[in-house]
């Protein structure tokens, strides 16, 4: 039995485009003698379709796409993910399904049993969990078909679900496991995914053929990394990250690699360097956000600081430097090197750059506002006014030229509210909003090792918003090394103040930091979508009330 894994970049709701991609891969797999081709979870409509699933027309188009794919399933079995209608009145109206297509028609359907409803996932909102399990015959083999989360309830001390679908299926004598997945990227995911699959191999003694999505859907990025493990739990092959591709595997060769002379002595997986994965993931996230929305050009405010520098580098790599406009907007408080560093960066990258000084407009605003400020001293009001003038400049250019404004805020700033609404928090996409400040520096250094484009002075000077004389971030915030550790423990690890203080952090600093995080929720609700690269990103995967007393 020859099994093809088709790792593709789908587009939510683009049925014609998705089917065309799959049709091309079906023809290729047939030409290479595959008996079966496996696509990803909800591949027909893209993942996650969210409330599109509530539209009857959307479901009808899914069904029509499945029928079109079925017509191509001649001489090959196609296993593809799509929603299907639950014929039972009680319960949710849909199943998250794997369709088995051959001889020009739908031969069987398998439905997802374990529906994740945590972090970014909300599948129980739409789908009914399945409870009646059966193996499927493909090319004379008994196959256990599972869908993503169905394999993720093993190997942990606190399982989310009371049962595992494979515990039911293993009694029916399957010879292998096929898994259709849509498993979003975060920098630990590739390793965690393989670990989970190894636990399944150890538990059931079967080879696994796991097919994942690649590409990005708004803030969610999919890394691919489709993988084949033999029955001994050794990685036989792992497909590339952030790339489309088709690979065909001979089941007998995979089986032989688990025993005897052909036994694999080590996993054949890919390197999993954190910042290499983040770098590639963010570039893919920008490319697909623009490409799938039909935009080609971006702009951003270039301050001379590390955050805007990194955002510019990533955008230039994703879209081409000629398509990213850098806008320098110095104020009366900007240092000379902020301008010169920015100019050097743009020259290194080949990006166009313009300069729009803030001072003339700031002077006009102050002239109009001064009588109403009633003689009160300079404070954050005047600082925010400068940031908002910059936001007006950038949005005007965005509107006029049809370019998407990229937000340059980092996760540390977003966490504690160190940003100005309708100013530096403007934008259509937050590129680095899931990177703590210390990670921003680490990624810059990683990129400079590949190609030294970011001027060294940007990486060594003290961070500053430059909105008042001699301002530094350290005037308002603790050193980022300490702040980021506290934020990570609270946001990613969900630790409370007592636990964090017990690790040796200053009590007053911990309590102040956590208070800032919770009191800044209203700002984060008004920010652009943030490309997710961590296990717990701000956005759809972290849902907290704006009005609340806890730690506030």
User: How confident is the model over 41-65, as a mean pLDDT?
Assistant: 98
Domain-embedded: residue 491? no
- Catalogue the E-assigned strands of 103-171: 105-111, 136-138, 141-147
Domain-embedded: residue 510? no
CA–CA separation, 315 and 431 (whole Å): 8
Examine the domain organization and report whether 318 and 449 are in the same domain: yes
Tokens of 444: 């810059």
Domain-embedded: residue 498? no
Q: How confident is the model at residue 258 (pLDDT cuts 50, 70, 90)?
A: very high
| Count of other CB atoms within 10 angstroms of residue 218 | 20
- Helical H segments across 115-268, by residue range: 165-169, 189-204, 251-256
Examine the domain organization and report whether 249 and 300 are in the same domain: no
Question: What's the longest Cα–Cα distance across the chain?
Answer: 87
Active site residue 411: no
Examine the domain organization and report whether 251 and 294 are in the same domain: no
CA–CA separation, 370 and 372 (whole Å): 5
This prediction's pTM: 0.96
Examine the domain organization and report whether 469 and 380 are in the same domain: yes
Is residue 410 scored above 80 in pLDDT? yes
Q: What is the pLDDT of residue 161?
A: 95
Q: Are 110 and 69 in contact (CB under 8 A)?
A: no
Is residue 156 scored above 90 in pLDDT? no
CATH code for position 462:
3.40.50.620
Q: What is the pLDDT of residue 466?
A: 62
- CB burial of residue 229 (10 Å; 0-12, 13-18, 19+): buried
Which residues are CB-neighbours of 475 under 8 A, at least 6 positions away?
A: none
Active site residue 41: yes
Examine the domain organization and report whether 302 and 212 are in the same domain: no
Domain-embedded: residue 500? no
Domain-embedded: residue 508? no
Of 429, 425, 384, 424, nearest to 406 (Cα)? 429
Q: How many residues does the chain have?
A: 552
Q: How confident is the model at residue 469 (pLDDT cuts 50, 70, 90)?
A: confident
Segment 188-216, tens digit of pLDDT: 999 999 999 999 999 999 999 999 999 99
State which residues form the domain around 176. 2-272
Given 235, 250, 272, the domain boundary residue is 272
Check 36, 41, 238, 426 and give the catalytic one.
41
Is residue 421 scored above 90 in pLDDT? yes
Q: How confident is the model at residue 71 (pLDDT cuts 50, 70, 90)?
A: very high
CA–CA separation, 430 and 419 (whole Å): 13
Examine the domain organization and report whether 293 and 399 are in the same domain: yes
Q: Are 384 and 422 in contact (CB under 8 A)?
A: no
Domain-embedded: residue 518? no
Q: What is the pLDDT of residue 426?
A: 96
Segment 509-532, tens digit of pLDDT: 999 999 999 999 999 999 999 999
Tokens of 308: 């805007």
- Helical H segments across 14-130, by residue range: 15-31, 56-72
Tokens of 516: 């800032």
CA–CA separation, 227 and 221 (whole Å): 18
Q: Are 498 and 484 in contact (CB under 8 A)?
A: no
Given 423, 447, 473, the domain boundary residue is 473
Q: Are 115 and 127 in contact (CB under 8 A)?
A: yes
DSSP of 342-379: HHHHHHHHT--EEE--SHHHHHHHHHHHHHHHTTPPP-
Q: Are 81 and 60 in contact (CB under 8 A)?
A: no
Q: How confident is the model at residue 467 (pLDDT cuts 50, 70, 90)?
A: low
Domain-embedded: residue 502? no
Examine the domain organization and report whether 206 and 290 are in the same domain: no
Check 36, 148, 164, 211 and give the catalytic one.
148
Check 21, 45, 62, 112 and give the catalytic one.
112
Q: What is the pLDDT of residue 145?
A: 98
CA–CA separation, 115 and 117 (whole Å): 6
User: Listing from the earlier edge strand, what are the strands of the sheet with 353-355?
Assistant: 353-355, 324-328, 298-301, 404-407, 429-430
Beta bridge partner(s), residue 338: none
Backbone CA torsion sign across 113, 118, 122, 125: positive
- Catalogue the E-assigned strands of 332-470: 353-355, 404-407, 429-430
Q: What is the pLDDT of residue 336?
A: 65
Phi, psi of 539 (to 5 degrees): 125, -140
CA–CA separation, 524 and 194 (whole Å): 33
User: How many domains does one find in the chain?
Assistant: 2
User: What kind and span of H or E run contains 229?
Assistant: strand 227-229
Domain-embedded: residue 517? no
Q: What is the pLDDT of residue 331?
A: 86
Examine the domain organization and report whether 322 and 250 are in the same domain: no
Examine the domain organization and report whether 297 and 181 are in the same domain: no
CA–CA separation, 409 and 538 (whole Å): 12
Is residue 471 scored above 70 in pLDDT? no
- In order of 158, 413, 514, the CA distances from 519 in angstroms are 31, 13, 9
Examine the domain organization and report whether 148 and 90 are in the same domain: yes
CA–CA separation, 76 and 238 (whole Å): 23
| Count of other CB atoms within 10 angstroms of residue 53 | 21
Helix, strand or coil, per DSSP, at residue 436: coil
Given 457, 473, 489, the domain boundary residue is 473
Segment 490-510, tens digit of pLDDT: 999 999 999 999 999 999 999
Examine the domain organization and report whether 200 and 300 are in the same domain: no
User: How confident is the model over 412-429, as a mean pLDDT?
Assistant: 96
Examine the domain organization and report whether 314 and 188 are in the same domain: no
Determine if residue 98 is left, alpha or beta; phi over 0 gives left, psi from -120 to 50 gives alpha, anything else beta: beta
CA–CA separation, 410 and 306 (whole Å): 10
Tokens of 40: 């990803």
Is residue 335 scored above 70 in pLDDT? no
CATH code for position 20:
3.60.110.10
């Amino acid at each position: 039995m020859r099994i093809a894994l088709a790792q593709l970049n789908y587009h939510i709701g683009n049925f014609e485009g998705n089917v065309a991609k799959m049709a091309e891969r079906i023809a290729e797999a047939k030409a290479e003698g595959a008996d079966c081709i496996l696509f990803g979870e909800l591949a027909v409509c893209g993942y996650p379709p969210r409330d599109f699933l509530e539209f009857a027309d959307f479901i009808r188009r899914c069904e029509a796409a499945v029928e079109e794919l079925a017509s191509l399933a001649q001489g090959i079995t196609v296993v593809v993910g799509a929603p299907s209608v639950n014929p039972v009145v009680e319960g949710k109206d849909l199943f998250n399904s794997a369709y088995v297509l051959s001889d020009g028609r739908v031969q069987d359907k398998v439905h997802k049993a374990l529906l994740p409803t945590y972090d970014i996932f909300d599948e129980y909102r739409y789908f009914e969990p399945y409870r009646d399990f059966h193996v499927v015959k493909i090319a004379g083999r008994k196959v256990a078909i599972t869908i993503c989360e169905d394999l993720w309830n093993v190997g942990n001390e606190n399982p989310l679900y009371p049962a595992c679908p494979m515990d039911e299926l293993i009694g029916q004598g399957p010879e292998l496991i096929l898994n259709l997945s849509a498993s979003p990227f975060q920098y630990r995911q590739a390793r965690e995914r393989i670990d989970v699959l190894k636990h399944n191999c150890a538990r059931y003694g079967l080879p696994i053929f796991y097919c994942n999505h690649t590409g990005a859907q708004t803030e969610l990025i999919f890394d691919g990394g489709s993988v084949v493990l033999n029955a001994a739990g050794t990685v036989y092959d792992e497909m590339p990250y952030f790339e489309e591709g088709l690979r065909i595997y001979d089941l007998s060769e995979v089986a032989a690699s688990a025993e005897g002379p052909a036994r694999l002595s080590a996993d054949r997986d890919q390197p999993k360097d954190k910042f290499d994965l983040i770098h590639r993931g963010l570039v893919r996230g920008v490319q697909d956000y623009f490409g799938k929305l039909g935009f080609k050009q971006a702009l951003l405010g270039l301050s001379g600081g590390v955050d805007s520098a990194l955002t510019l580098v990533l955008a230039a790599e994703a879209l081409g430097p000629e398509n990213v406009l850098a806008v320098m907007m110095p104020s009366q408080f900007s240092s000379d090197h902020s301008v010169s560093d920015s100019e050097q960066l743009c020259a290194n990258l080949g990006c166009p750059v313009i300069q729009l000084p803030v001072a003339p407009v700031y002077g006009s605003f102050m002239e109009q506002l001064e009588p109403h400020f009633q003689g009160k001293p300079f404070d954050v009001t005047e600082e925010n006014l400068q940031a908002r003038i910059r936001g007006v400049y950038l949005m005007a250019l965005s509107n006029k030229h049809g370019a998407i404004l990229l937000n340059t805020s980092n996760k540390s700033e977003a966490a504690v509210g160190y940003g100005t609404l309708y100013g530096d928090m403007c934008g259509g996409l937050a590129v680095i909003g899931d990177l703590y400040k210390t990670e921003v520096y680490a990624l810059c250094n990683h990129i400079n090792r590949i190609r030294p484009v970011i001027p060294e002075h940007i990486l060594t000077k003290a961070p500053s918003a430059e909105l008042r004389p001699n301002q530094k971030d350290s005037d308002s915030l603790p050193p980022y090394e300490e702040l980021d550790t506290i934020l990570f423990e609270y946001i990613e690890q969900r630790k409370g103040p007592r636990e964090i203080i017990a690790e040796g952090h200053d009590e007053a600093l911990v309590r102040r930091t956590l208070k800032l995080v919770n009191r800044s929720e209203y700002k984060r609700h008004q920010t652009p979508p943030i490309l997710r690269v961590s296990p717990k990103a701000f956005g759809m995967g972290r849902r907290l009330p704006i009005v609340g007393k806890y730690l506030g």
